[in-house]
Structure 1
Amino acid sequence: MSAGSQRATLAMVAEAAGVSMPTVSKVLNGRGDVAAATRERVQDVIRELGYLPQPGRRPVTPARVVDLVFDDLVSPYSLEVLRGVTEAGVETAVDVVVGRLPDHGDDDWARRLRVAGREGLIVVTSELTRAQVEGFARAGLPLVVIDPLNLPRVEVTSVGATNWNGGVAATEHLLRLGHRRIAYAGGPVQASCSQARQHGYRAALENAGIAVDPELILHGAFGYPDGLEMGGRLLDLRQPPTAVFAGSDATALGVMEAARRRGLRVPEDLSVVGFDDTMLAELATPALTTVRQPLQDMGRVALRTLLRLAAGETLDSHHVELATHLVVRDSTTNLQGAP
């Protein structure tokens, strides 16, 4: 390095090697939790830039940090996932920075996260564009998506739940109670998880020999206002449903309010099943029958998977699904007159 040239810094080494500053520090400190190819690349850059730790100071490993971004920071679903990610962060000595995904996530934003030393990025229930995903890849920023609304590339690593099985379980529960006119008030039509839940709903009906009625299938956002709107539309049909399978707990509460406004009782006049098993399910009146997603476990798995990617490990699968199961409470009952 010439006398007038800029002294190489840890951040410069990290950017040139396409890794985080904590990874560079691990290499400098001889830590063993760095993939061999990554270690060799960092060592090559250190030699090329002539990086030397400041005299008289031992290399200090910076805090390991990941970013966790949501499309909705205040929903009960998000809070459950956040709890899982942060608990796993405590267990692995990783700090978690929480925020929202920019409307137009660009390369500069991804590079800033990388240069700042982020281990990687966890995105929750957001719709990602191919350009965004490719921008993260160009910046060398590992990415894990939880319950993605879409998957622009098959190699995007994601963590979800057995949504199809959950849809089957919810619908079969209502069928066992004697219901035959069962509606589905789902999430966004383009959302992969909502599509899987709907397919499970349809499969259960078809297995029972019941024709799927298109007017009983509606889609909206995963929230209370859309549940209220969809519930109203379903209950105002000439032949309204006797039961509704909702795509989320918040949607289910909206459907229950739509029933209340029409003088209908839950579950005596309308049975309702939700999806997620957030705190809303137990606090609802009546308590909500719902399909439980292991949201905290999904957060834990997402963080641990991200750390494996940051260490250069090869994953056995790009997609992990955790099991769902039905939790029966008070919002469902036998259809009057059913055997």
Structure 2
Amino acid sequence: MVTIKDIAARLQVSPSTVGRALADDPRISRAVKQKVAEVADEIGYVANRAAQIMRGVSSNLVGLVVPDIRNSFYSTIAHGLSKCLEEAGYQLTLSETDDDRMTELRHIRELTSANVAGVIIVPSAKPHPSSVRLLKAIPHIQLLRRISALGEQWFGMDDTAAMHQATRHLVQLGHRRIGYIGGLAELPTGAARLHGYRSALANPSAKNDGLVELGPPSSMEFGSEALRRMLDLPKPPSAVVIGSVQITQGVLEELHVRGVQIPQQLSVVGFGDELGFRWWGPGLTTISLPVSELATACGLWFVHQIKHKSVNAAPYSSITPPTLIVRGSTCEFSRAPDGRAARGVSASAG
């Protein structure tokens, strides 16, 4: 293994001078730093991060802890953060928790032991007390979800407004039996989106038996099963609004399998704006999420705070608004002359 001593011998300087040059010590001239860097690159020197960590030197790693890397929402965020951090000299490392707090704790412990520069986390519903304690000791920020025990630094979007906007669109088209399929209410995002849906209903106090289905936000299977139950109701909804990207994918798959005519039999508002959503059927009316903008804003702010050692110093929140994109999957709800619904899925659809 090439060491600092090898570089020093090549340049005929002391190992301490090489060490200071590699650490960008201001006492070392720019010319010497450049020569050290050139020789280090030439002979294949790689810094011993383990030794640096033992000396208490923070690494250039920033941990990103997310529930599910299969979700394109999180992969887009990871890509945006990676590019942003790389420009500032940091490297992103990715951890997946599957929304399990013990897995989350294990990853946080590993990141802490690696002396990471900071952690960006989409937390589980109830982080383990040890996770809370460990994160308090290092720079960290919450992304999308906000758990009060983890502090007051957070970047996210207005989930309540997103679902209110989506549901209100259907109400304005004349729909009254509007189903909602979304994430678990124990998650802060799930609770906020459910609140947005309910607040936009024409009659929020009406009994909507079977019209609300909550489950794992990363499960396509749940989306398919939830829609199946709604369509099999004696009085199914005339419209459905969805509260997660992967649940949307499951719902669209089920609609395809059952041969439901969209929007003639059912109006649908999805969540997220995947490329396939634009081409699906008549084009999916959906909530467009400011994913790239959110990731860039979070990354830039976090780097600035790390360098100024002020990440956990004061509360900070940034809320990015979502946008409703209207395409062909929603239409006006009308009634036949005898008062029966002219649009809406029958119990035997599919």
Q: Take 1:293 and 1:245, find their aligned partners in 2: how far apart are those partners?
A: 15
Match of 2:53 in 1: none
* Aligned pairs for 1:256-295 within 5 A: 256-295=252-291
Match of 2:227 in 1: 231
Three-state SS of the structure 2 residue aligned to 1:269 is coil
One-letter code aligned to 2:318: V
Structure 1 residue 141 corresponds to structure 2 residue 158: no
Q: Take 2:220 and 2:112, find their aligned partners in 1: how far apart are those partners?
A: 37
* Equivalent in 210, 213, 221 of residue 218 of structure 1: 213
**Quick check: 2:135–2:150 contact (8 Å CA) kept in 1?**
no
Aligned length: 280
Match of 1:192 in 2: 188
Three-state SS of the structure 2 residue aligned to 1:104 is helix
Q: TM-score, normalised by structure 1?
A: 0.73
Q: Take 1:108 and 1:70, find their aligned partners in 2: how far apart are those partners?
A: 13
One-letter code aligned to 2:240: V
Cα–Cα, structure 1 residues 225 and 298, in superposed 2: closer, same or farther, change >3 Å? same
Q: Percent identity?
A: 27
Three-state SS of the structure 2 residue aligned to 1:319 is strand
Q: Take 1:125 and 1:297, find their aligned partners in 2: how far apart are those partners?
A: 20
Three-state SS of the structure 2 residue aligned to 1:332 is coil
* Aligned pairs for 1:1-40 within 5 A: 29=26
One-letter code aligned to 1:191: L
Cα–Cα, structure 1 residues 297 and 157, in superposed 2: closer, same or farther, change >3 Å? same
* Aligned pairs for 1:309-324 within 5 A: 309-310=305-306, 311-313=308-310, 317-324=315-322
Please tell me the root mean square deviation across aligned C-alpha atoms, in Å.
3.0
Three-state SS of the structure 2 residue aligned to 1:79 is helix
Q: CA deviation at 1:156?
A: 4.4
Q: Could you tell which deviates more after superposition, 92-101 or 268-277? A: 92-101
Q: CA deviation at 1:286?
A: 3.8
Cα–Cα, structure 1 residues 270 and 29, in superposed 2: closer, same or farther, change >3 Å? farther
Three-state SS of the structure 2 residue aligned to 1:277 is coil
* Aligned pairs for 1:44-193 within 5 A: 64-101=60-97, 104=102, 110=108, 113-114=111-112, 116-124=114-122, 126-127=124-125, 128-137=127-136, 140-148=137-145, 151-153=147-149, 155-193=151-189
One-letter code aligned to 2:133: E
Larger Rg: 2
Q: Take 2:107 and 2:186, find their aligned partners in 1: how far apart are those partners?
A: 26
One-letter code aligned to 1:171: T
**Quick check: 2:180–2:242 contact (8 Å CA) kept in 1?**
yes
Q: CA deviation at 1:109?
A: 5.8
Three-state SS of the structure 2 residue aligned to 1:153 is helix
**Quick check: 2:63–2:92 contact (8 Å CA) kept in 1?**
yes
Three-state SS of the structure 1 residue aligned to 2:185 is coil
Q: Take 2:316 and 2:299, find their aligned partners in 1: how far apart are those partners?
A: 14
Cα–Cα, structure 1 residues 238 and 319, in superposed 2: closer, same or farther, change >3 Å? same
Gaps of 5+ in 1: 1-24, 31-60
**Quick check: 1:66–1:118 contact (8 Å CA) kept in 2?**
yes
One-letter code aligned to 1:331: S
Q: TM-score, normalised by structure 2?
A: 0.70
Cα–Cα, structure 1 residues 69 and 213, in superposed 2: closer, same or farther, change >3 Å? same
Q: CA deviation at 1:106?
A: 8.3
Cα–Cα, structure 1 residues 174 and 106, in superposed 2: closer, same or farther, change >3 Å? closer
Three-state SS of the structure 2 residue aligned to 1:232 is helix
**Relative contact order (alpha carbons < 8 A, sep ≥ 6): 1 or 2 greater?**
1
Three-state SS of the structure 1 residue aligned to 2:315 is coil
One-letter code aligned to 2:143: I
